[in-house]
Amino acid sequence: MGKNIQLDSHGRLRHFLSIEGLNRTLLTEILDTAENFVSVGNRAAKKVPLLRGKTIANLFFEPSTRTRTTFDLAEKRLSADVLNININTSATTKGETLLDTLQNLTAMQIDLFVVRHSASGAAHFIAQHVPDSVSVINAGDGRHAHPTQAMLDMFTIRKHKEDFTRLRFAIVGDVLHSRVARSQIHALNMLGCPEVRVIGPHTLSPSHVEDLGVHFTTNMEAGLDGVDVIIMLRLQNERMSGALLPSKGEYFHYYGLTEQRLKRAAADAIVMHPGPMNRGVEIESAVADSGHSVILQQVTNGIAVRMAVLSMAMQQSNPEGA
């Protein structure tokens, strides 16, 4: 990437494109700022005027439920004017390039773009082509990065476990195609986690996965032994080119998180999933709906974390200050 375009000359967040290139101080600032925004969601009037007068465009070139709606809510709770561009009815369907679409939207004086795209690097590309006054937040690009998802996961973990430096993690499933797992691993390493285990079949694990600073095992039972946090991943069929598994049933047999397997983890282990979740494929319903599951808390926390990132990128992060 060369120059770190995510930070301004004072080291503050300008774009949020990936966890790589940031540092522990900045990640902690995002988590602390999000903490301040949680109370906004608990008010009768769920709104602060922090981004009043700012215009934000949500550009989702790929389907999304959680990320799109929580960004939308976060922006509205910050009082920004929000444009949800429907790509299916936009001029991109007539052959307009991403750059031309971007330049036309920039001409409408957008202050910040939230971008999801199937191509790895799309958010970086956009960030390199916007004027200096405009920020870009990556809402998931190909199999590369999903940094706000990683931060809402870190926020949720901190709520339950506090000290990252004492925790053991298991990330289970299709790490090969997962932008979420990559961002989580970078964030966990940056926050000082001593042990991150990746569990899955060889066909769904990146070659040299250990280079990311994790331990790899194909053995689900052994991998879950004593862990404090279990992060389950979906099989990302839309990014698979060819059959990497015999069947979903066989996958569940070896890697599905069942109540029985959960007993291998610490007694107070939490179970996470970024969604969308496929019950009976990577996780048993009894586990997904159990007291160990914090899956819906992840969704709720996504609003405060996205409010934090939006306000920091716009250099306005005090919820009481406007």
Angstrom distance (rounded) from CA 169 to CA 84: 36
- What is the helix (H) or strand (E) element at residue 67, kind and residue range? helix 66-77
Q: Which stretch binds ligand CP (CB under 6 A): 130-138, 181-189, 202-210, 272-280?
A: 272-280
Q: Which is nearer to ligand CP, 50 or 141 (CB)?
A: 141
Q: Report the residue from 49, 249, 276, 280 that binds ligand CP according to the rule CB under 6 A.
A: 276
Angstrom distance (rounded) from CA 216 to CA 204: 12
* 148: contact with ligand CP by CB under 6 A: no
Q: Which stretch binds ligand CP (CB under 6 A): 63-71, 90-98, 121-129, 279-287?
A: 63-71
Q: Which is nearer to ligand CP, 147 or 275 (CB)?
A: 275
Cβ pair 143, 120 in contact under 8 A: yes
DSSP string, 248-305: HHHHHHHH-B-HHHHTTS-TT-EEE--S---BTTTB-HHHHTSTTB-HHHHHHHHHHH
| Nearest alpha carbon to residue 125 among 139, 136, 134 | 136
Please, what is the minimum distance in Å from the beta carbon of residue 153 to ligand CP?
A: 9
Cβ pair 167, 229 in contact under 8 A: yes
Q: How many residues bind ligand CP (CB under 6 A)?
A: 11
Angstrom distance (rounded) from CA 239 to CA 122: 16
Angstrom distance (rounded) from CA 317 to CA 311: 5
Please, what is the minimum distance in Å from the beta carbon of residue 104 to ligand CP?
A: 25
* 149: contact with ligand CP by CB under 6 A: yes
Residue 189, helix vs strand vs coil: helix
Residue 14, helix vs strand vs coil: coil
Q: Report the residue from 67, 101, 184, 311 that binds ligand CP according to the rule CB under 6 A.
A: 67
* 28: contact with ligand CP by CB under 6 A: no
| Nearest alpha carbon to residue 142 among 67, 245, 62 | 62
Please, what is the minimum distance in Å from the beta carbon of residue 169 to ligand CP?
A: 18
Q: Report the residue from 147, 223, 274, 319 that binds ligand CP according to the rule CB under 6 A.
A: 274
* 160: contact with ligand CP by CB under 6 A: no
Output the six-digit token pair for 79.
């009082």
Q: Report the residue from 147, 173, 223, 275 that binds ligand CP according to the rule CB under 6 A.
A: 275
Q: Give me the helices (H) in the chain, please.
A: 24-41, 66-77, 98-106, 122-127, 147-161, 179-190, 220-224, 248-255, 259-262, 285-288, 295-313
* 205: contact with ligand CP by CB under 6 A: no
Angstrom distance (rounded) from CA 309 to CA 148: 8
Please, what is the minimum distance in Å from the beta carbon of residue 179 to ligand CP?
A: 9
Please, what is the minimum distance in Å from the beta carbon of residue 318 to ligand CP?
A: 28
Q: Which is nearer to ligand CP, 99 or 296 (CB)?
A: 296
Q: Which stretch binds ligand CP (CB under 6 A): 60-68, 73-81, 157-165, 218-226?
A: 60-68
Q: Report the residue from 122, 138, 140, 190 that binds ligand CP according to the rule CB under 6 A.
A: 140
| Nearest alpha carbon to residue 68 among 79, 81, 54, 83 | 83
Q: Report the residue from 28, 36, 55, 64 that binds ligand CP according to the rule CB under 6 A.
A: 64
Please, what is the minimum distance in Å from the beta carbon of residue 73 to ligand CP?
A: 13
Please, what is the minimum distance in Å from the beta carbon of residue 229 to ligand CP?
A: 17
Residue 43, helix vs strand vs coil: coil
* 65: contact with ligand CP by CB under 6 A: yes
* 66: contact with ligand CP by CB under 6 A: yes
For ligand CP, the binding residues (CB under 6 A) are 64-68, 140, 146, 149, 274-276
